[in-house]
Structure 1
């Protein structure tokens, strides 16, 4: 469809309508409810940091009134017969045996509580703690060289003149490791708490990076002025020994990573800073070359950090080189004596990997007990690659064949494991598919779980057994997307007959909930709960990252904590055993004190004949007999957030309007979904949003003369385009966007990389270069049609925007200024979004701007000079 100018009603030519702001609402108890104000932002209560004891009988969470200095720890029993609350400064923890809880209160006192009892032991002046078996190890705040050891079984408290304490094989013995610091002298001393015997195992001037193995029988640390000496100690030794490195390696900075799972290798990083040879020129010239592997940043100071990995075989202290340059390493969950390595021949920006051959990926397998590495020739550019927990298989998605393959490590045989499955595996937002690709593995690497568009497949990597649709096609039949719900499923093998908790999201209704499915049982998954809530919507890119919450399971029982929210209900924690009945453990409802919002899912036909959906946000005191101003707020897809709870704040994402605040103060907000076609992206935005405005204008309670639009980042880019190709809007606000795709294509981002890939195959969705598709770059550039813009426009940008260069949007402002268009531009410090006082200031100014044009408010001083 060709784009064209659309005029519904010329807003500024009609008689203004008066709008009543700050209307109050009487709740059911007859109490007046006020609208939200900026003063409410920093005093909005929230709950966080839920935990459950290993036996499932106790739970806790942290409550905040909105002020970071007012945080309350709330502990309770499953039956609610026991409750305890205390101020808290940071984190808290339950003991492994589920008998104690430990935290530091706001007065810097360590608190040790016996669960189910009222008594609390206080130890003053503590800065940090950790639980290790039956012990609590704490570090003193004053004096700084004092450490405390508490036996939670006996309540015995021991104090040591040491900077830190580490427990050694605590389940069997009473030995601890003391790290003492006296001026420039450091020492490590092993102390037997019961026998009061001490043994110094090391002494020197500098040390850090103390690392213990999983059994707490071995440790390593760094020393030396350059922190490039590795020292090693084992419980059977009298003192620590230095592990000798080559002369070349000893000149590099070191960082100890971890012991491997078997405790026979130590992983470490070698970090080297190399000066750019171009920096050594005596002149100020910086030479760029067409065959450079990567773009040089404008700065002449571009020293490069080279990181490589080594493994030290502890039996003979032999150094095993894993890689010689910066690479990504992937180790199996259970068997980390085999390593999957992804390297680039030359480090290259991710946007250039498709065409810059010097940045091609190579994949290798490294066995720690062998000298050579094995190159995996068929994986090449494929980035969806995973090594199984036991290290038996490498599973990857072949983008050319559109199929999954499994490489068997022991035999070198490679198999297409999805060839006979009728499923589209690629994720595509236009088909409402998203998220991760590989869900988990059965024990002994026998099956891999792979996500399709809606359902989950269980597949044998050897192809000896036919693939099984674990969810039996239920997801496809009912348009429900399934994911494994518990976070632990990604961190351990799945038991063969385990009952899995699945998160479920209905694409049509936007309901969210849980199902259950046994791995070895055929048939449909069992529905546990579904409703107009948001619990856990895994990996949905359109759901705010803090909105989804993966259920927490008690280690030794089938007790779970879930978090539930809805558009009209703040996030709160519940406990459950079956995901059918939920018992509330937190009860915060700050929204009940103010005029809040409601959500409705609306549907209409777009200009290109697609059925679209959008969320209409209305105040809870909505009056259908009145006419309301409306703001279109858009990005890509927003309807999946139908049941999300939006916290009042100055701005969303540092540059977008906060919906609760605007709705509480007399606006309606409409958020339409947008579907894009590769090669003509802004046409999709036009078809969706213009049709959304037509649809909204047909609602009897909408004032057609008071339609605004606001977009941030990609939403701002679309806003710029829309006001250049329509006259539907009475006011527009565009923040942190661009308006010239032609000049934007060949610019550098703030990280020194080219923006070309972003336009060709990234969010801009052009599908070709500026030379392949010049007409698309021209068409999508709002600045080309600046002379057609009639909508009053407020622009906001930050000086150091690394994604959307300020000079690009300045082109639009300069053009509109020359054309005499009503345009204001607010420039702040920062990068792409605002924080702190700047965030509050812009939030205020944006509201004043919309109030003037959409609610007939008075012009603020910063606008009035030019308006006169």
Structure 2
């Protein structure tokens, strides 16, 4: 009896806890900011330490430094941009200001110099010592040594304004303004000894790879007696500072050779009011008192009117023999006699221009800074070779910078056709860094993508017309077809656009350019670039089992595969969409061995440089991405556990669905269901689509303010089914293709008793927005529709401009996403038939359009055409125009706004919820910024 009473008492005690659990809450718009993600994960070279950030969507992030065994060493609030030192003894990171402080400063419209500043943190992994420095603008950590350099500004103490006399305050203010122009304090620290050296008024700096030297430019404040303007080098070993160049001016592009024994930089020391300020190239091997000028403006070796460029990157070859830099024509000086309001302002469009004026204006800054690669040999009497020029202006250096050749490509005289073809036809050359000789690779221009092998021995490209990979051997000048005899296609087998299918791509090269790994649809091929001898590296396992094998070079690894390397191959099961990893040694002839395969998604692997330790994130639809450490995926150590709050909310599940379309095509999609799904109930369903989305079956989708897509997490959590069908296209029929796949998929799902066929919605953004607009002209099966940035009139959009890039839209309609397959005058019937505008009288579905006035991809007027025409027809239609916003919403406040409206809209039409005011009565312009229209309008209806 006593035992029974005790048991009963225990049960009573448990009841409140059980009652508290209850049903899980649906997600709401208040959850966004605290939802977290993993970012900037790193692993030390010895594999013993890891670091990663946990970032809320809005607010202060936290940096975690841990052992690979998951022992927490340090948590740094607001830690950011963290890196490990080469010897795996230190972690260096920025510490961002508090989010609330930055917000308040923005509210008070503080000037940039008055905004809260970053700090710098240094954490000693072995001792646990944490050192901080305030007001840090930037930092560099030596690539191969524990030496740190950073710039820090003088702090203006909060009490200065209240305690300092007027003259002192003025001096502090002047100092700050002077420092803004003149630079900041450079500190160079040996992390091992802790010894620090400071240098004032530094504007730019560069550490050598070995950390033995630091070059820095100084701009002395006015009337300074202690600081001299110029370029200096600090030797960390001797502690000496050596002047390399003096005088006021601009010093840029500081660069050491790998050994830290040579320095080069560009500088201009023209008078402040000079109209033209060309740069000179300086060089030092530290044997002379200062750097010498090895290339001046209008040097006789240069083309007439050319100078070294201040915008060209300076690079020494690995052996230190070659110095690469940029040259450029001297700019046309501004005519200072012109009065701005007295001369015309216009753009002149000419049909012979290589690029349309909008494209030129978009690229104006880049073109003003354009420079042309050249090489000089400081140890060979400054022998000079110009590698690029106006004709041949894009080149690529091999990873082995000692290589004789650079690869250069040109589309000169072929650029106008990009207006309708999208890309341009190119010719490629190997250019000798010794003689400047140009060796043509493909005499006939082709739409190809060229690359130079890491060692520089071969050029590689895929020829769209020949549908094969080719190599060009620098030594023999022989062209070899690498894949023509494999009997396998190396291009997109599912291409459904009226353009040449693209190649699946290059995986990697092996050491000394001995082989290149190429992808077909499923497998990886190992090909000899000299002979074309090819073997299926994955032993045909991919195609036989419908496994898609890919190889991604670990971030920390060099740019080629060593002969002894074990390769970790990412694999996806094409049918189940599961992801995993297989392993195979480069030298092995055996089939790859499976390490893991499951219902997860993986980030790119990070492998410790000197240890067999892997770092990655793993997730699926219900498991937030967290950080893991493993050696072979067999035994994983989980290091993080973010978004614990998810367990309090009604989440969702995801499953593949298959059906056959009316024309007999096999189709696939993903169906998302609420976690508390009950097959005895009926659910409203919203379909969201954009090309093909089923590969993301196991992708984690966090609730987040939307740029205009459907927030799957929010809708599924709130009792909706969400369906994302894959779409394949018939050329010339983008609209009917959407009908074929989307509507048939919806009809298939409607056969289930738990799908409410009377409460169906569709949502799409951009290309998906176009398809929404088209679908509602073809069927009345949808009770509500939402079209973000749709094109509704292909005839008016065809000749327009994508203002974000400045290019014409013609190529998109003829050859790429719109898939018409011809010009407007060749196929006007297809442009009209696929344009929703011409069929708008059929529309009966209430629809919201988002069309923003700064959209750089889809013309804003497309949404206006749709709205004004539906309005004239008396159809229920709304237009959301976010001021100054782009194609996809960027500002978080706007994303939050549209997220609320989107759910309100579908809740009203698919769940019968009361209509908010913005739907029922609208928001007059006089109430803009005062009334958002979210509340239910009393007594108002639709």
Instruction: Normalising by structure 2, report the TM-score.
Output: 0.82
Equivalent position of 1:256 in the other structure:
313
- Conservation of the 8 A alpha-carbon contact between 2:264 and 2:284: yes
Q: Comparing 119-128 with 616-625, which one deviates more in the overlay?
A: 119-128
Counterparts of 1:288 and 1:30 in 2: how far apart (Å)? 68
Please report how far the alpha carbon of residue 181 of structure 1 lies from its aligned counterpart in structure 2 after TM superposition: 3.2
Equivalent position of 2:825 in the other structure:
771
Q: Comparing 40-49 with 174-183, which one deviates more in the overlay?
A: 174-183
Equivalent position of 2:103 in the other structure:
none
**Structure 2 residue corresponding to 1:309, chosen from 368, 373, 377:** 373
Equivalent position of 2:617 in the other structure:
563
Equivalent position of 1:455 in the other structure:
523
> Helix, strand or coil: the match of 2:571?
strand
- Conservation of the 8 A alpha-carbon contact between 1:361 and 1:381: yes
- Conservation of the 8 A alpha-carbon contact between 1:77 and 1:116: no
In structure 2, relative to structure 1, the CA distance for the partners of 1:140 and 1:683 (3 Å cut) is: same
Q: Comparing 715-724 with 291-300, which one deviates more in the overlay?
A: 291-300
Q: Does 1:154 align with 2:193?
A: yes
List aligned pairs for 1:220-239, cutoff 5 A: 220-224=264-268, 225=270, 226=277, 228-239=279-290
**Structure 1 residue corresponding to 2:778, chosen from 719, 725, 747:** 725
After superposition, the C-alpha distances for 1:573-613 in whole angstroms (9 at most, x for unaligned) are 10011122211111113422322111111111112211211
Q: Comparing 405-414 with 95-104, which one deviates more in the overlay?
A: 95-104
Q: Does 1:103 align with 2:103?
A: no
- Conservation of the 8 A alpha-carbon contact between 2:354 and 2:416: no
Please report how far the alpha carbon of residue 91 of structure 1 lies from its aligned counterpart in structure 2 after TM superposition: 1.6
In structure 2, relative to structure 1, the CA distance for the partners of 1:230 and 1:454 (3 Å cut) is: same
Equivalent position of 2:919 in the other structure:
863
Q: Comparing 605-614 with 564-573, which one deviates more in the overlay?
A: 605-614
Please report how far the alpha carbon of residue 294 of structure 1 lies from its aligned counterpart in structure 2 after TM superposition: 3.4
In structure 2, relative to structure 1, the CA distance for the partners of 1:27 and 1:221 (3 Å cut) is: farther
In structure 2, relative to structure 1, the CA distance for the partners of 1:796 and 1:663 (3 Å cut) is: same
- Conservation of the 8 A alpha-carbon contact between 2:253 and 2:265: yes
Please report how far the alpha carbon of residue 512 of structure 1 lies from its aligned counterpart in structure 2 after TM superposition: 0.4
After superposition, the C-alpha distances for 1:741-781 in whole angstroms (9 at most, x for unaligned) are 12221222214322111111111111112222222112101
In structure 2, relative to structure 1, the CA distance for the partners of 1:857 and 1:168 (3 Å cut) is: closer
State how many pairs are aligned. Answer: 821
**Structure 1 residue corresponding to 2:659, chosen from 604, 609, 613:** 604
Please report how far the alpha carbon of residue 86 of structure 1 lies from its aligned counterpart in structure 2 after TM superposition: 1.9
Q: Does 1:293 align with 2:293?
A: no
Equivalent position of 2:254 in the other structure:
210
**Structure 1 residue corresponding to 2:229, chosen from 186, 189, 201:** 186
- Conservation of the 8 A alpha-carbon contact between 1:406 and 1:461: yes
Please report how far the alpha carbon of residue 470 of structure 1 lies from its aligned counterpart in structure 2 after TM superposition: 0.4
Counterparts of 2:567 and 2:837 in 1: how far apart (Å)? 53
> Helix, strand or coil: the match of 1:42?
coil
Q: Comparing 343-352 with 847-856, which one deviates more in the overlay?
A: 343-352
- Conservation of the 8 A alpha-carbon contact between 1:349 and 1:753: no
- Conservation of the 8 A alpha-carbon contact between 2:280 and 2:308: no
Q: Does 1:91 align with 2:81?
A: yes
Please report how far the alpha carbon of residue 484 of structure 1 lies from its aligned counterpart in structure 2 after TM superposition: 0.9
Counterparts of 2:19 and 2:651 in 1: how far apart (Å)? 14
- Conservation of the 8 A alpha-carbon contact between 1:168 and 1:217: no
Equivalent position of 2:865 in the other structure:
811
Counterparts of 2:18 and 2:655 in 1: how far apart (Å)? 21
Q: Does 1:679 align with 2:679?
A: no
- Conservation of the 8 A alpha-carbon contact between 1:294 and 1:347: no
- Conservation of the 8 A alpha-carbon contact between 1:186 and 1:204: yes
Q: Comparing 563-572 with 295-304, which one deviates more in the overlay?
A: 295-304
**Structure 1 residue corresponding to 2:632, chosen from 578, 585, 600:** 578
Equivalent position of 1:117 in the other structure:
127
- Conservation of the 8 A alpha-carbon contact between 1:440 and 1:490: no
- Conservation of the 8 A alpha-carbon contact between 1:439 and 1:490: no
Equivalent position of 2:139 in the other structure:
129
> Helix, strand or coil: the match of 1:838?
helix
| Long gaps (5+) in structure 2 | 1-16, 98-117, 156-182, 223-227, 271-276, 299-304, 335-339, 923-940
Counterparts of 1:434 and 1:671 in 2: how far apart (Å)? 25
In structure 2, relative to structure 1, the CA distance for the partners of 1:558 and 1:330 (3 Å cut) is: same
Counterparts of 1:618 and 1:301 in 2: how far apart (Å)? 44
List aligned pairs for 1:612-651, cutoff 5 A: 612-651=667-706
Counterparts of 1:179 and 1:96 in 2: how far apart (Å)? 26
| Long gaps (5+) in structure 1 | 1-25, 536-548
The root-mean-square deviation of aligned C-alpha atoms, in Å, is: 3.0
List aligned pairs for 1:252-401, cutoff 5 A: 254-270=311-327, 288-297=349-358, 305=368, 306-315=370-379, 316-325=381-390, 327-334=393-400, 335-346=402-413, 348=415, 351-352=418-419, 354=421, 360-378=425-443, 380-401=445-466
> Helix, strand or coil: the match of 1:808?
helix
Equivalent position of 1:659 in the other structure:
712
After superposition, the C-alpha distances for 1:811-862 in whole angstroms (9 at most, x for unaligned) are 2222212211111112122221113222222222222211111110111112
- Conservation of the 8 A alpha-carbon contact between 1:681 and 1:765: yes
Equivalent position of 1:546 in the other structure:
none
After superposition, the C-alpha distances for 1:672-724 in whole angstroms (9 at most, x for unaligned) are 11011222222221100110110121111111110000010000111111111
Q: Comparing 574-583 with 186-195, which one deviates more in the overlay?
A: 186-195
After superposition, the C-alpha distances for 1:629-651 in whole angstroms (9 at most, x for unaligned) are 11010111111111001121111
Counterparts of 1:422 and 1:162 in 2: how far apart (Å)? 65
> Helix, strand or coil: the match of 2:219?
strand
> Helix, strand or coil: the match of 2:91?
strand
- Conservation of the 8 A alpha-carbon contact between 2:508 and 2:517: yes
In structure 2, relative to structure 1, the CA distance for the partners of 1:806 and 1:104 (3 Å cut) is: closer
> Helix, strand or coil: the match of 1:688?
helix
Please report how far the alpha carbon of residue 520 of structure 1 lies from its aligned counterpart in structure 2 after TM superposition: 1.9
Equivalent position of 2:178 in the other structure:
none
> Helix, strand or coil: the match of 1:828?
coil
In structure 2, relative to structure 1, the CA distance for the partners of 1:242 and 1:490 (3 Å cut) is: same
Please report how far the alpha carbon of residue 82 of structure 1 lies from its aligned counterpart in structure 2 after TM superposition: 5.3
Please report how far the alpha carbon of residue 558 of structure 1 lies from its aligned counterpart in structure 2 after TM superposition: 0.6
Instruction: Normalising by structure 1, report the TM-score.
Output: 0.88
List aligned pairs for 1:759-838, cutoff 5 A: 759-829=813-883, 830-836=885-891, 837-838=893-894
Please report how far the alpha carbon of residue 138 of structure 1 lies from its aligned counterpart in structure 2 after TM superposition: 2.8
**Structure 2 residue corresponding to 1:72, chosen from 53, 56, 62:** 62
Please report how far the alpha carbon of residue 786 of structure 1 lies from its aligned counterpart in structure 2 after TM superposition: 0.8
Please report how far the alpha carbon of residue 312 of structure 1 lies from its aligned counterpart in structure 2 after TM superposition: 2.6
- Conservation of the 8 A alpha-carbon contact between 1:253 and 1:271: no
Equivalent position of 1:440 in the other structure:
508
- Conservation of the 8 A alpha-carbon contact between 2:760 and 2:910: yes
